[in-house]
Chains A and B, each alone.
Chain A
Amino acid sequence: MAEAVDYKVIGTSPVRPDGVDKVTGRAQYGADMNLPNMIYGKVLRSPHAHARIKSVDLSKALAMPGVYAAVSGADFPQAQHGEIGGEGGGDVADLAKNIMARDKVLYHGHAVAAVAARSVQLAEAALEAIDVSYEPLPPVLDLDAAMAVDATLLDENCFTKNLPEKPDKPSNIAAVMQLARGDVEAGFADADVIVEGEYRIPMAHQGYIEPHACTASVNEGGQATVWCCTQGHFEFRAMASKVLNMNIADLKFIASEIGGGFGGKTVLYLEPLAILLSQKSHRPVKMTMTREEVFRATGPTSGTHCKVKVGAKKDGTLTAATAWLAYEAGAFAGAPMGPGAMSIFAPYRLDNFHIEALDVLVNKPKVAAYRAPGAPQSMHAMECALDDLARELGMDPIDLRMKNAAEEGTQAPYGPKFPAIGFKACLEAAKQHPHYTRPIPEGAGRGVAAGFWFNVGMQSSAEVHINENGTVTVVEGNPDIGGSRASMCLMAAETLGVTYEQVRTLIGDTESTGFSNVTGGSRTTFATGMAVVQACEDIIAQCKARAAATWGVDEDQVEWEDGQAVPAPGVNADVKPLSLADIAANAARTGGPLLGRASLNAQGAGASFAVNIADVKVDRDTGKVDVLSYTAIQDAGKAIHPAYVEGQMQGGAAQGIGWALNEEYIFNTDGVMENAGFLDYRIPVASDLPMIDTQIIEVPNPSHPYGVRGVGETPIVAPLAVIANAVRAATGLRINDLPFSPPRVLEALDNA
């Protein structure tokens, strides 16, 4: 383990630089852009979950006064199959068809046409004037129905990928994935105890409070400017260019402030429609989704059906495990079954395992990333099974996990060996945490579970400008979704040796800074932070050169200390140290403005582990579960801005608790979501939750200059099983399916 390092500004929690604008209402979010001559676009959505489109007639809508443009699938270029990278990526043709249906609608709410008119009200009226003729098809609404031998097919050209031989018949199973090691049969034969479980979790939504919104303005030369709330404006530009067959150089994307995303704003929905409508109307077009549209027509995360089997020796040593993981993809392939499969056993040393995961098409909205995509569902299965195993073995659940915990050198189920990781440190902290050592309140139950996320690196760019007075402007390309500007400022200040207040970070648009992948995968503080640090190092090198020139010494005779150029030890130069401000003031005479830059494809994102603890109480008459107390313990590598790291842990815990207790997509038999609003899609409100205690563990990531691990995703992984295990402790019942809605819990209690 690396030695703890004393930093000057890293590890403090100053007010974020974008904070004042956000508490005064000045900050501009997706729907806040108003332009002269702007008109409003709205989308016509499918009333069927599955149907062939026979015709779309826009003429009556276009004839209405005040309606300036209308488009349908026919107005889009023929989409070519081909992969597009990034978290919101996938097959281009699927992406295009999800944005606007062509021959078929594949879920209730699928976009079929769009109009732009003088007002929202007029645009809505124009939608009613569009004639669409459908041939309804039977909807395929759950995993079992989708995988049945005689299932109705969503896509007649879908042949299951990754099978040893190409299948001769199409299927709703878009892909399978296998991960295996060792001898599972021998492992189970070696076990003293075997537990098995089967768990179903329905589709759930990220539930960001800001609906998707954009404004597009296309000039008569074909150049488009788009303001939108996005987790990655560069990737949005790339996707829009493919979907519209436009030159990437003609597209300028400006990321507004973003009102939450959690993975859901890595995918393009409205922007190509707004661009087309603007092209046709010669006016700026603003489009915003209603909350109902957000639920029906953006990307939630997969509903799943997981089976897990785990064997162990009497002393708790795991001998073998298997998992079968089926994920709903929604209307197009691309469920997060890969990360789900790769994460399920990742926290544990396991010599014998087999995992099979399936990506299954159903007539529901196409899923998108949601915080640690795929992992909460699969790890819920494993962490519940481990809890059952601990009971069978009469072991403390933390001890059981400790006995098998992955550590530095353990080979992850997905291949590589872990470098330094903090799982054991989290388990130790949990075992000693006051929450775990204090008595369980009368009538309550206590649960624990582990969480894990790989974290990713990917591409980032950063520039560092030294202003004339020595203050610092950092420019990078990752929308700030939860305080990342502050983290960039802290890392830049630490590296340059200046104060936090001297640094400002801004998010450049696609024309004013270099390419960066999305804010997602918990990569921003890690990868973009690394680029910022490197750009600052570039500045330092330049400053040393300027000082050397000023002093008439060699560059290697200058060092950078506490934000100043100083002569290296032993260099005999009678000079005053030169601060950043001194060098900046003299820049015109030493070579011009100081501009540092870095671009990279970051490697070595360190996995982040967590252990969470919850106490819950169950009302035996109504089945209602109350969370009495909650503690999240997580390895952050190094917390750059601890308050925002805690915020990630608390927010992820709250989302996970909501998912465990109440959140679910409820579909009727026609495939219509019945709870497409915040009234009945029940995310936690303030009075539902206790204070969420946090403990940040810091086992530095050896691949990052300051030891950073991503922290955004891991927090949502453990809560599902933590709540399930706490309910198990409180009631003595293992309830396998989520959410723990009161009717489900009461039924289980009454049947026991």
Chain B
Amino acid sequence: MGAFAYVAPSNLEEALAVLKEHASAGTRAQLLAGGTDLLVQLRSADKTPRTIVDIKKIAETNRIDIGSEEVYIGSAIPSAVLNENTELAALFPGLLEAADLIGSTQIQGRATVGGNLCNASPAGDSIPAMIAAGGVCVIVGAKGTRELPVEDFLTGVGKNALEPGELLLGLKFKRPGPRTADAYLRFIPRTEMDIAVAGCGVSVTLDQNGTCTAARVAIGAVAPTALLVPAAAEALLGSKLDDDALTAAGAACTAASSPISDKRGTVEYRRKVVAVLCRRAAAIARDRAKG
């Protein structure tokens, strides 16, 4: 690993001051939460000097708030902590299962959904799940706080909307109402330890007759960024989430995808499998929403 400086600000003000200093000097500052992506990248990346800013000691990044209207998850909360939160698991089973899929038990002890999002890998498992769950990024910088839907936070492969001097404080979700549930599935060649070849997050709300009244579908690893697929949600809306509706939603996911062929899968394969995952994830979300 190349040399770098390390700072661990103990509060938000300090952190923003450090980031501002680097932003105005034009020097490089990189945020560290769980480090499971960053440390691997630092090992292979270019060795230009930089300062690593550890955000784990900031109170606001380490908080989970479950309110009657809103749920907040700090950006430095490791997956393992998320998954031990039974209240969250009941509200967002899909989001938590996505977080649970990020790497091994060891990785989950460190990796954060905030980091997964900022890393902006096309295949980040938690991202489609967060989009499906309607996640909103809470971003702070010198100019104050701004909010951005997760789907708009991603700007390209490995790129996000953070400006120099800003950091992702956490993620906000509307607390799900009755008969609302989410699910996330990804495909990997093994059972664990792989990067998603394709992924799909689905959130649905049903009325008392089981008709879908709201839906969000997001796909991962099949485009430069995770994508919200409104056409897939359209296919589910008004249906009882029967096979025809699921197949139509799956087809919409295939249509929205623009995958590449690489060591993990081919274009054709990813296009087919994302539809399979959409069908299966939507069925799981449906069954959960029915309770």
**Interface residues, chain A, with chain B CB atoms under 8 Å away:** 121, 125, 621-624, 661-662, 666, 674-675, 678-680, 682, 684-685, 687-688, 741-743, 746-747, 750
Contact = CB atoms under 8 A, between A and B. Distances in A.
B1 A682 contact: no
Given A682-B190, A742-B197, A743-B269, 14 more contacts: A125-B47, A621-B272, A621-B273, A662-B190, A678-B193, A682-B194, A688-B192, A742-B187, A742-B189, A742-B273, A743-B266, A746-B272, A747-B268, A747-B269
A624 B189 contact: yes
Interface in B237-278: 262-266, 268-269, 272-273, 276
Interface of B: 1-3, 47, 187, 189-195, 197, 262-266, 268-269, 272-273, 276
Contacts of B191: 685, 687-688
Given A121-B3, A682-B194, A685-B193, A622 B187 contact: yes
A687 B192 contact: yes
Contacts of A678: 193
Given A622-B187, A622-B276, A742-B187, A679 B265 contact: no
Given A121-B3, A622-B276, A743-B266, A684 B194 contact: no
Contacts of B269: 623, 742-743, 746-747
A436 B264 CA distance: 35
Contacts of B273: 621-622, 742, 746
25 contacts: A121-B2, A622-B273, A623-B269, A624-B189, A662-B189, A662-B190, A674-B262, A675-B263, A679-B193, A680-B194, A680-B195, A680-B264, A682-B193, A685-B190, A685-B193, A687-B190, A687-B192, A688-B192, A742-B189, A742-B265, A742-B269, A743-B268, A746-B269, A746-B272, A747-B268
B189 A679 contact: no
A5 to B, nearest CB: 44
Most buried by A among B47, B187, B189: B189
A741 B188 CA distance: 10
3 closest A-B pairs by beta carbon, nearest first, are A743-B269, A687-B191, A621-B276
Contact of B189 (A674, A741, A747, A750): A741
B110 to A, nearest CB: 16
Please classify the interface of chain A as helix (H, G, I), strand (E, B), loop, or mixed, using the class held by over half of its residues.
Answer: loop
Contacts of B47: 125
Contacts of A662: 189-190
A747 B273 CA distance: 12
B240 to A, nearest CB: 22
Contact of A688 (B1, B190, B195, B266): B190
A661 B191 CA distance: 12
Contacts of A687: 190-192
A624 B188 CA distance: 9
Nearest to A621: B276
A389 B9 CA distance: 70
A687 B263 CA distance: 22
Contacts of A666: 263
A510 to B, nearest CB: 36
A746 B197 CA distance: 14
Contacts of A675: 263
Contacts of B189: 624, 661-662, 682, 741-742
B246 to A, nearest CB: 12
Contacts of A624: 187, 189
Most buried by A among B1, B2, B187: B187
Please classify the interface of chain B as helix (H, G, I), strand (E, B), loop, or mixed, using the class held by over half of its residues.
Answer: loop
B199 to A, nearest CB: 13
Contacts of B194: 679-680, 682
A679 B195 contact: yes
A31 to B, nearest CB: 17
A674 B263 CA distance: 7
A201 B161 CA distance: 44
A129 to B, nearest CB: 12
A58 B197 CA distance: 43
Contacts of B264: 680
A624 B273 CA distance: 11
B3 A684 contact: no
A38 B266 CA distance: 47
B108 to A, nearest CB: 14
A235 B262 CA distance: 41
Nearest to B269: A743
A684 B190 contact: yes
Contacts of A684: 190
Contacts of A680: 194-195, 263-264
A97 to B, nearest CB: 28
Contacts of B192: 685, 687-688
Nearest to B103: A679
Most buried by B among A674, A687, A741: A741
A66 to B, nearest CB: 13
Contacts of B272: 621, 746, 750
Contacts of B262: 674
Contacts of A747: 268-269
Nearest to B187: A622
Most buried by A among B1, B2, B47, B263: B263
B184 to A, nearest CB: 16
A603 B276 CA distance: 58
A743 to B, nearest CB: 4
Contacts of A742: 187, 189, 197, 265, 269, 273
A666 B189 CA distance: 15
Nearest to B270: A743
Most buried by A among B1, B194, B273, B276: B273
A426 B278 CA distance: 46
Contacts of B2: 121
Contacts of A125: 47
A750 B195 CA distance: 24
A121 B193 CA distance: 28
Contacts of B276: 621-622
Contacts of A688: 190-192
Contacts of B266: 743
A125 B47 CA distance: 9
A682 B191 CA distance: 11
A747 B266 CA distance: 10
A622 B188 CA distance: 10
Contacts of B1: 121
Nearest to A662: B189
A622 B185 CA distance: 13
B279 to A, nearest CB: 8
Nearest to B194: A682
Nearest to B197: A742
A326 to B, nearest CB: 24
A520 B189 CA distance: 32
A619 B2 CA distance: 44
A735 to B, nearest CB: 15
A122 to B, nearest CB: 10
Contacts of B187: 622, 624, 742
B156 to A, nearest CB: 21
A362 to B, nearest CB: 19
A353 B286 CA distance: 61
Contacts of A750: 272
A682 B189 CA distance: 8
Nearest to B198: A622
A743 B265 contact: yes
A391 B255 CA distance: 42
A685 B106 CA distance: 14
A623 B272 CA distance: 11
A747 to B, nearest CB: 8
B52 to A, nearest CB: 15
A175 to B, nearest CB: 32
Contacts of B265: 742-743
Contacts of A685: 190-193
A750 B275 CA distance: 15
A746 B195 CA distance: 19
A676 to B, nearest CB: 10
Nearest to B195: A679
